[in-house]
Chains A and B, each alone.
Chain A
Amino acid sequence: MAFINMRTNEVQVKIVYYGPGRGGKTSNLEFINKKFRERIKSDMVSIKTHGDRTLFFDFLPFDIGKIKGYDIKIQMYTVPGQVKYNATRKLVLKGVDGLVFVADAMAERRKHNLLSLKQLQENLAEYKKSIFRIPLILQYNKMDLKDQGVPLLPLATLEQDLNSKLKVPSYPASAITGENVVITLKKIISVTMAAIQRELK
């Protein structure tokens, strides 16, 4: 639920990176944080365990300037990916405006992607939101591992598994090299803003 402040003409938009544990959600935000450091006014907040796993969320605010006279403030979050943290995942989804589903392209992670996407659908349903209607982008991450001989799922398989019903924009990416990380971000911002503007009228 984007909050529109009619007094300051500011719109706050919540974008959540969702996906299986170790898929690269935090790495996406870390890359964005590094790349746009001079434009981001605050530090990235990460609530994590000693083992560097996301415990609650990462948070990164990002101002993108004005659209139609409104100051747009993007608030990016990641969820904890580990299976046992579904209660906290749900809390982070509260009021979400747009989602990036970060799938892990490693062949051995195929089942985890499917389960995580299914759970996302269920979690959204609890907030009376449909995965088929919310602004959503898929990202197939860790593409760089191909060069190291790690078995990856072919793009056609990832599309078939995850996107055959959703039919949303999808990008092969690498949160480590940065390949398509910024494009993913730009796309989710533009799709989400389009949805918000339809309602602003």
Chain B
Amino acid sequence: MNYGIDQDRLITIDSILREDLIEIGVDYVLMIDTAGNTIAKCDSGAHSYDVASLAALAAGNYATVDAMAKIVGEQEFSLLFHKGENVSIHFSMINEEFLLIILFGKDVSLGFLRLKVTEAIDKIRALWK
């Protein structure tokens, strides 16, 4: 019933999140599982957020949208994005189990972010190959 991720992988995940995402100006990156557990987190130090609550809500949000997709006959809605005045949230799926949640401000362009997210996700997936 339990599961763990070994230390080496977690350290690698951390450096991927830092180098691909925090480095381009993102405020906060969270890797969570679909049950709402926090697997890894990285931040620029600019803000502090209530991570446990964010993870629980993000997992719920993702699961809700996923269930809606199934009802209308879609595999998934691939882009999940909430735009705010100062902070925006970008969700993406790493695989069946893991999600990537990114909080970023006005100075990061969505196009560039999506490119970097794809890169980061590919690298994380490769850890399980």
Interface residues of A (CB under 8 A from B): 1-7, 11-12, 14, 41-43, 45, 47, 56-57, 59, 61, 73, 75, 77, 87-88, 91-92, 94-97, 195-196, 199-200
Contacts and interface: CB of A to CB of B under 8 A. Distances in A.
Interface residues of B, number: 26
Interface of B: 1-7, 10-11, 33-39, 50, 52-53, 56-57, 59-60, 63-64, 67
B56 A4 contact: no
Contact of A56 (B5, B35, B60): B60
Contact of B1 (A5, A75, A88, A196): A196
Contacts of B63: 91, 94
B122 to A, nearest CB: 22
A57 B1 contact: no
Contacts of A5: 4-5, 10, 39
A199 B4 CA distance: 11
Contact of A6 (B4, B33, B34, B57): B4
Question: What's the dominant secondary structure at chain A's contact region?
Answer: mixed
Given A14-B37, A87-B67, A94-B63, A43 B4 contact: no
A97 B39 CA distance: 17
A6 B7 contact: yes
